[in-house]
Amino acid sequence: MTSDPSKNFEQHQLDRIIMMAWEDRTSFDAIRTQFGLEPGEVIKIMRRELKPNSFRLWRERTTGRATKHEKRFQEKVEGQPLRHFRAKSQRG
């Protein structure tokens, strides 16, 4: 991928990536599955698209959060069924 991962996406796709990144229960693995973006690329998109204070708040919320990392989440909820990647608001 290029150094600016957002150049490969249309605005509605960027909006969806941002929405998924804001959702507490949507993991970076789900974003990787749907859009092919690594967590670092999602962070770059969020840094560029959000206001500086909003970005800082988002980073504070996501840093170390088990639900944003599928492997950590699986370790915490062993025996539970696999999570769904689709948000209720997502169409299609």
Q: Where along the chain do its domains lie?
A: 5-76
> Looking at the whole model, is its pTM more than 0.75?
no
CB-count burial class (<10 Å; 0-12, 13-18, 19+) for 23:
middle
Question: Is a pLDDT exceeding 80 seen at residue 91?
Answer: no
Percent of the chain with pLDDT over 90: 46
**Across all residues in the chain, what is the average pLDDT?**
79
Question: Is a pLDDT exceeding 80 seen at residue 66?
Answer: no
Report the C-alpha gap between 27 and 22 in whole angstroms.
10
Question: Is a pLDDT exceeding 60 seen at residue 77?
Answer: no
Confidence label for 1 from pLDDT (cuts 50, 70 and 90): very low
